[in-house]
């Protein structure tokens, strides 16, 4: 194999730099619920099964194999390539891409994140605010509920208000409207006691541009507009990740679409994602255009019997080879 020249350090190269950023961590798999060993990959009927096959070791493998594909065809990349294969994406990225960003190590002209999008080009993703609303009531005998203040009753009203919430603002063309889901609910101490406390676990999804303070304020406004402004509660924030986006018309998004279409023979859709990826650190903190585009269906990610279609892996590999060959030359 021909040797690929080493970059001479940030800013020293004459070629543009393309970052390929992806995560190597996976979510846990409960082996008893799988029909095969999640950590022993199996090829069956054109599918590669295993934990992480779609999210996102398949994408990482395609990104690596694309280099070998280029070389076997007698070409070199037109750009410098920086592979950033990180940990901790599934837990929020603090020990992975965020750490790289804070160390000033995300430097380049564009970034490809080969997360599973079924090879669609994703240019925007929603952010999140997750945590618990801690509600305080006043205990009383369970036979006289109106003599106390039930934290469970108030918590139930807050849960209903959040599910029905319209957070306002215009609808995003790719991301729709912000949402809230109550995923957990705990409260009370005994059947015959008016509940003194309740915890409503919420998951608020945000549009790009919304910061932490604004996201919390929006949550408080929903509680107040449901007539619950006098309720004694606190918000315990457990996770926050801002949304991010780049222009769908950006030349890099256009280039990735052309490279994918050159392989699939069909128009490449442009999409938004309802959840966050590490692309947000590259876009928001790094100021670098980042396209999320990879093999596999997000419906498979985190699921039982996760798989990726081999045909998608092959198509992604060929498309990435075209991208490496054309990035920085002005034409694919
Ligand atoms: Zn992923």
How many Å lie between the centroid of ligand 1 and the Cα of residue 110?
19
Percent of the chain with pLDDT over 90: 87
Asked if pLDDT for residue 230 goes beyond 60, the answer is: yes
Q: What integer is the mean pLDDT of 81-98?
A: 94
- What whole-number distance in Å separates Cα of residue 202 and Cα of residue 279? 24
Asked if pLDDT for residue 108 goes beyond 80, the answer is: yes
Q: What integer is the mean pLDDT of 228-244?
A: 93
| pLDDT tens string 255-267 | 999 999 999 999 9
- What whole-number distance in Å separates Cα of residue 268 and Cα of residue 116? 14
Helices (H), 233-297: 251-264, 279-280
How many Å lie between the centroid of ligand 1 and the Cα of residue 281?
14
- What whole-number distance in Å separates Cα of residue 316 and Cα of residue 58? 9
Domains of the chain (ranges plus CATH)? 17-125+244-326 (3.40.630.10), 127-241 (3.30.70.360)
How many Å lie between the centroid of ligand 1 and the Cα of residue 229?
38
How many Å lie between the centroid of ligand 1 and the Cα of residue 5?
30
Most confident region among 55-64, 91-100, 168-177 by mean pLDDT: 55-64
Task: Using CB atoms within 10 Å of the CB of residue 272, give its burial: 0 to 12 exposed, 13 to 18 middle, 19+ buried.
Answer: buried
How many Å lie between the centroid of ligand 1 and the Cα of residue 18?
20
| pLDDT tens string 144-158 | 999 999 999 999 999
How many Å lie between the centroid of ligand 1 and the Cα of residue 53?
10
How many Å lie between the centroid of ligand 1 and the Cα of residue 248?
21
Asked if pLDDT for residue 85 goes beyond 70, the answer is: yes
How many Å lie between the centroid of ligand 1 and the Cα of residue 90?
7
Q: Name the nearest CA neighbour of 87 among 99, 70, 105.
A: 99
Asked if pLDDT for residue 4 goes beyond 70, the answer is: no
How many Å lie between the centroid of ligand 1 and the Cα of residue 59?
10
Q: Name the nearest CA neighbour of 278 among 89, 46, 58, 60.
A: 89
Asked if pLDDT for residue 242 goes beyond 50, the answer is: yes
Tokens of 297: 């269906």
Tokens of 247: 């222009």
Q: Name the nearest CA neighbour of 166 among 155, 154, 176, 179.
A: 179
Asked if pLDDT for residue 7 goes beyond 90, the answer is: no
How many Å lie between the centroid of ligand 1 and the Cα of residue 85?
12
| pLDDT tens string 210-229 | 999 999 999 999 999 888 88
Provide the pLDDT for residue 168.
Answer: 87
pTM: 0.87
- What whole-number distance in Å separates Cα of residue 5 and Cα of residue 192? 74
Confidence band, pLDDT 50/70/90 cuts, at residue 269: very high
Percent of the chain with pLDDT over 70: 95
Q: Taken in order 264, 307, 248, 285, is the CA torsion positive or negative?
A: negative
Asked if pLDDT for residue 1 goes beyond 70, the answer is: no
- What whole-number distance in Å separates Cα of residue 83 and Cα of residue 319? 17
| pLDDT tens string 277-292 | 999 999 999 999 999 9
φ, ψ (nearest 5 deg) of residue 163: -65, -35
Of 107-116, 222-231, 240-249, the one with minimum mean pLDDT is: 222-231
């Amino acid at each position: 194999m021909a040797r690929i020249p080493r970059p001479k350090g940030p800013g020293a190269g004459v070629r543009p730099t393309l970052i390929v950023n992806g995560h190597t961590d996976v979510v846990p798999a409960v082996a008893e619920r799988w029909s095969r060993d999640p950590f022993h990959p199996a090829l069956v009927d054109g599918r590669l099964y295993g934990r992480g096959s779609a999210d996102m070791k398949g994408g990482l493998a395609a990104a690596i194999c694309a280099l070998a594909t280029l070389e076997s065809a007698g070409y070199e990349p037109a750009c410098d390539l920086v592979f950033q294969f990180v940990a901790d994406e599934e837990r929020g990225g603090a020990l992975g891409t965020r750490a790289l960003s804070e160390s000033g190590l995300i430097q380049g002209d564009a970034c490809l994140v080969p997360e599973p999008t079924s090879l669609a080009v994703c240019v925007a993703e929603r952010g999140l605010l997750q945590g618990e609303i801690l509600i305080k009531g006043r205990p009383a005998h369970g036979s006289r509920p109106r003599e106390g203040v039930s934290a469970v009753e108030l918590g139930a009203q807050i849960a209903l208000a959040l599910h029905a919430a319209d957070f306002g603002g215009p609808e995003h063309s790719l991301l729709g409207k912000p949402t809230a889901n109550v995923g957990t609910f705990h409260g009370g101490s005994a059947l015959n006691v008016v509940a003194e406390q309740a915890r409503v676990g919420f998951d608020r999804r945000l549009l790009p541009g919304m910061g932490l303070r604004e996201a919390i304020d929006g949550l408080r406004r929903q509680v107040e507009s449901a007539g619950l402004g006098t309720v004694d509660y606190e918000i315990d924030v457990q996770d926050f990740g801002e949304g991010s986006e780049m222009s769908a018309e950006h030349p890099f998004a256009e280039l990735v679409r052309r490279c994918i279409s050159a392989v699939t023979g069909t128009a490449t859709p442009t999409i938004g994602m309802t959840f966050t990826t590490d692309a947000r650190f590259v876009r928001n903190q790094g100021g670098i255009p980042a396209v999320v585009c990879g093999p596999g269906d997000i419906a498979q990610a985190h699921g039982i019997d996760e798989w990726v279609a081999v045909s998608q892996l092959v198509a992604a590999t060929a498309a990435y080879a075209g991208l490496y060959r054309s990035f920085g030359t002005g034409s694919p």
